Amino acid sequence: MPWHTDNNLLQGSQFLRKHEMQCLVFLIYLSEPNLSPFQYIEGSHLWSSKYDDEIYISDRWVQTHYQQNIRTFEIKKGDLIIFDLHGIHRARPFKDRHHVRNSFQFQVEQIKDEYLGHGEQNLVNAGFIDNPSPDLFNYLGFGIQRNYPVFPNSSIATMAIPELMKLYKQLLLLTLKAISNNLAKGLLTGEWEVSLKRKLWHLKLPSSNSRKS
């Protein structure tokens, strides 16, 4: 991955330009070994805006001007890095084509009215919110418009073959279930369906009663 900053403003999924809003990036590595540790140019969050016209910064330029300032973080699985997204950083490139490296990353950004829609949608599991407050809801972005697509772009087209095979196996079973459900619905009248469901329900009852007693 080339050197870059993450203060990107998008239109749809197209890069528009860099923005000046404050933001922190949280990065957690989920796998080991890590052949491509995180690298950050110390202090670059203070001057990176001079290069806002560039989406990526060349390694040759960095090695020429800032080699002394490169910090490499050889962190372990489960460790957390928090950094200013205006800082120039990268995951150090690696050659092993079979190396897999998993990480979890999110950004917490300042919002401004003039950038309405800036940000990705937040997928929140409400079960984790045990102490709701207006501040927390604001932090999680409730009621705040976000227009960006999910990042990184993920779809069936980006899946690895073993995962794709697992998905198709699941789909095959669900498809067979859907076909049999639809066939049954087509063959049975509504009244028959209700009476069949009632019979099945009564068949199940004794075992659930015996569990209760």
Binding site for ligand AKG (CB under 6 A): 6, 27, 38, 89, 91, 103, 105
- Cα separation, 71 vs 87, in Å, equals 12
Give which of ligand AKG, Fe ion, none residue 147 binds (C-beta under 5 to 8 Å, depending on kind). Answer: none
CA 135 – CA 189 distance, rounded (Å): 53
Which partner, ligand AKG, Fe ion, none, binds residue 28 by CB below 5 to 8 Å per kind?
none
Q: Which residues of 48-70 are buried (b: 16+ CB within 10 A; e: fewer)?
A: beebeebeebeeeebeeebeeeb
Q: Smallest distance, Å, CB 212 to Fe ion? A: 55
Closest CA to 106 of 85, 125, 127, 88: 85
The entry of ligand AKG, Fe ion, none near residue 118 (CB within 5 to 8 angstroms by kind) is none
Minimum distance from residue 104 beta carbon to Fe ion (Å) = 13
Closest-CB residue for Fe ion? 6
Binding partner at 38 among ligand AKG, Fe ion, none, C-beta below 5 to 8 Å by kind: ligand AKG
Helices (H) and strands (E) in the chain, counts: 4, 10
Distances (CA, A) of 54 to 18, 32, 63, 88, 116: 9, 32, 17, 11, 24
CB of 7 to Fe ion, least distance (A): 10
> Which residues between 102 and 161 bind Fe ion (CB under 5 A)?
none
Separation between Cα atoms, residue 27 and residue 113, nearest integer Å: 27
> Which partner, Fe ion, ligand AKG, none, binds residue 103 by CB below 5 to 8 Å per kind?
ligand AKG
Can you tell me the distance from the alpha carbon of 2 to that of 58, in angstroms, rounded to the nearest whole number? 7
Residue 85 Cβ vs ligand AKG, minimum distance, rounded to whole Å: 9
- CA 182 to chain CA centroid, Å, is 35
Nearer to ligand AKG, 103 or 147 (CB): 103
**Interface pattern 2-41 for Fe ion (x via CB under 5 A):** ----x-----------------------------------
In the DSSP assignment, the letter for residue 181 is H
Q: Rule CB under 5 A: which residues touch Fe ion?
A: 6
